A and B are shown apart, each in its own frame.
Chain A
Amino acid sequence: MGRYVVRRLLQMIPVFIGATFLIFLMVYALGDPVVGLFGDRAPDPATAARLRAEFNLDQPVWRQYLLYLGQILTGDFGTAFNGQPVIELMARSFPISFRLMLVALAFEIVLGITLGVISGLRRGGGVDTTVLLLTLVVIAIPTFVLGTTLQFFLGVELAWIDPAVGPQPGLDELIVPGLILALVSLAYVTRLTRTSVAENRRADYIRTAVAKGLPRRRITTHHLLRNSLIPVVTYLGADIGTLMAGAIVTERIFNIQGVGYQLYQGILRQNSPTVVGFVTVLVLIFLLANLFVDLLYAVLDPRIRYA
């Protein structure tokens, strides 16, 4: 197991470098970081040239990237548009987005799995059809439409919640945004759980469990769920990365000052260090989440043994 983890971590390195280089390329080859620094004003050619030299922008892209990589390894992600180090923005915004993601994940686990198990056990019934239709509707309506309308009804019309979230939001303020962020994944979790439960229910080992004279409840909890939830748990693990990326929409709607917000500000102001820095960290989280999922697989399913 230990050797497997090391091997997978090593395999992650080229993927990490490749993915971040792609992002780097997009930002530094397509955009002009120096223009971004000046905002709407036209840059003075002499200053621009000095800045180019200072930020290694006169070097070929691959060297720029290597220099950048060296910098971030020492924790230096550069400076944001307002003069703050990017790493400080990260320290402030990642905890917020992480909380938001936890709320979303909780919704997926509690609501998604419950609905999925119920509809999987009653496949073809009224509850199942209703749940299935609901998931389709949720998947079909874009998150930002649901988000803005829910914000309008709950926040403005009914005034149940504050339509905008404070700069240091607590978990309670993040419930509605978390639900919005979770919605699409929630629908997929429900459908996946449903399929998995319905499939496993017809498995031979369930028939054996019945023939052993086990009570129905025990068969469901100890035999059926244990097997059915393996793909669901791994989906949830991998979803951590997707949720962090999806937060850009939710945070925009509710004005939450998390990762998505900072990233959006960075893009808006053409601040390259912010954009590249945040995306790099997100890619890293995404890769680590995937590794975590693979390890989870081994823990949950004894048939998988890593060499």
Chain B
Amino acid sequence: MPEQRDTPGPGPLAAREEAAAEAMTVSSSPETARSLGSDAWHDLRRNPIFIVSGLLILFLVVIAIHPSLIATRDPLFCELGRSLDGPAPGHWFGFDAQGCDVYTRTVYGARASIAVGVCATLGVALIGAVVGGLAGFYGGIWDSLLSRTTDIFFAIPLILGAIVFLSMITLTGIWPVVLVIAALGWPQIARIARGAVITAKQHDYVQAARALGAGNGRMLLRHILPNAVAPVIVMSTIMLGTFIALEATLSFLGVGLQPPTVSWGVDISAASDGMQFRNAPHILLYPAAALSVTVLAFIMMGDAVRDALDPKLR
């Protein structure tokens, strides 16, 4: 509520956060945390959405690490003569404009997309959790300083900042993309982490631990961290999906990944460019489907975990 908050407003993603932030009120004491945690796990194991998205993510990660498991060709081997050809024996997804095998490229594309998603999310979660956690834990002047810094980064729309940054530098590859997402995407996580830590600090048992003389480090590790971790993980999972989509969008705008890097975003933007897909829909369909299914898997996973952790929806 604005009266308790000094930041300039909930921001466009506030509502998106809100749902995830609800999860932070989940555990009220170590006992209920454990039983709620195991309750949530019990629920999750029976949730078909969780199982399907979990298996899908597992599959995608394995493919990203070892694409050669299911694709034997070289993604950069192309025959211009077969440009935009349809499916052929051994090439069930057809060929793209350069005459490369769409199936092989779609499989290999997982690596860049997932790598960007995972690395950017790790960066965002780390920066956000540290900044938000410290702000919430120490309060006072630290809170004001860190929260205002969060606001500054929050005020730059992620896609806008990323476009500007990426267009100004000459480096290519996945690292600049990861770097800019991590550098600009963390404020959401910071706000959630700060809220979760403040909530956890107010719990009676934390107050009791403090009264009994528990040190700051011990308080953070034993009492506050376990409560703050769940909402951050839920939000990060959902964000991972959107970061993968963002990479593709940046590639579409010509500032993300560039060929010869193989990524879904690169292939989709090549297919969309000048509506190349009008005569060969397969060059758009397969990478776009792979990308969408991946994003969907992470969002559904985040949703399922949040629902399981949120006792209000039981």
Contact = CB atoms under 8 A, between A and B. Distances in A.
Quick check: do A and B touch in the complex, using CB within 8 A? yes
Interface of A: 8, 11-12, 14-16, 18-19, 22-23, 26-27, 30-31, 136-137, 139-145, 148-149, 151-152, 156, 188, 192, 195, 199, 231-232, 234-235, 238-239, 241-242, 244-246, 248-249, 252, 263-264, 267-268, 270, 275, 279, 282-283, 286-287, 289-291, 293-294, 297-298, 304-307
Nearest to A272: B168
Contact of B268 (A22, A139, A142, A249): A142
Q: Which secondary structure dominates chain A's binding surface?
A: helix
Contacts of A245: 157, 159-160
B213 to A, nearest CB: 36
B168 A26 contact: yes
Given A144-B272, A279-B164, A304-B1, A287 B10 contact: no
Contacts of B9: 238, 289-291, 293-294
Contacts of A140: 241, 245, 292-293, 295-296, 299
Contacts of A22: 152-153, 156, 161
Contacts of A304: 1-3
Nearest to B183: A22
A291 B152 CA distance: 14
Contact-residue size bin, chain B (C-beta under 8 Å from the other chain) = 35 or more
A70 B184 CA distance: 26
B249 A144 contact: yes
B8 A8 contact: yes
7 contacts: A16-B155, A18-B151, A141-B295, A142-B295, A151-B275, A287-B8, A306-B2
Nearest to B149: A18
Query: Of residues A140, A192, A305, which shows the largest number of chain B Cβ atoms within 10 Å of its Cβ?
Result: A140
B12 to A, nearest CB: 4
Contacts, number: 185
Contacts of A279: 156, 160, 164
Nearest to A144: B252
A18 B151 CA distance: 9
A142 B249 contact: yes
Interface string B1-20: 11100101111111110110
A231 B2 contact: no
Interface in B152-198: 152-153, 155-157, 159-161, 163-165, 167-169
Given A26-B161, A238-B9, 16 more contacts: A18-B151, A23-B161, A23-B164, A30-B168, A31-B168, A140-B241, A140-B299, A141-B288, A145-B291, A234-B10, A238-B11, A241-B157, A246-B159, A264-B253, A283-B155, A293-B9
B55 to A, nearest CB: 17
B248 interface: yes
Contact of B15 (A234, A252, A268, A290): A234
A240 to B, nearest CB: 8
Query: Of residues B12, B16, B253, which shows the largest number of chain A Cβ atoms within 10 Å of its Cβ?
Result: B12
A145 B13 CA distance: 22
Contacts of B155: 15-16, 18-19, 283, 286-287
A18 B165 CA distance: 16
A134 B48 CA distance: 18
A145 B268 contact: yes
Contacts of B13: 238, 242
B284 interface: yes
Contacts of A307: 3
The 3 A-B pairs of least Cβ separation, nearest first, read A290-B9, A245-B157, A18-B152
Interface string B206-242: 0000000000000000000000000000000000010
A101 to B, nearest CB: 12
B92 to A, nearest CB: 21
Nearest to A306: B3
Contacts of B11: 238, 290
Interface string B285-303: 0001001110110011000
Interface in B16-42: 16, 18-19
Query: Of residues B167, B269, B277, which shows the largest number of chain A Cβ atoms within 10 Å of its Cβ?
Result: B167
B45 interface: no
B2 A239 contact: no
A297 B2 contact: yes
B46 interface: no
B296 A136 contact: yes
Contacts of A145: 248, 268, 272, 284, 288, 291-292
B275 A148 contact: yes
Interface string B63-99: 0000000000000000000000000000000000000
B154 to A, nearest CB: 8
Query: Of residues A268, A282, A286, A305, which shows the largest number of chain B Cβ atoms within 10 Å of its Cβ?
Result: A286
A152 B160 contact: no
A288 to B, nearest CB: 10
Contacts of B164: 23, 26-27, 267, 275, 279
Contacts of B241: 140
A142 B293 contact: no
Contacts of A293: 9-10
B203 interface: no
Contacts of A31: 167-169
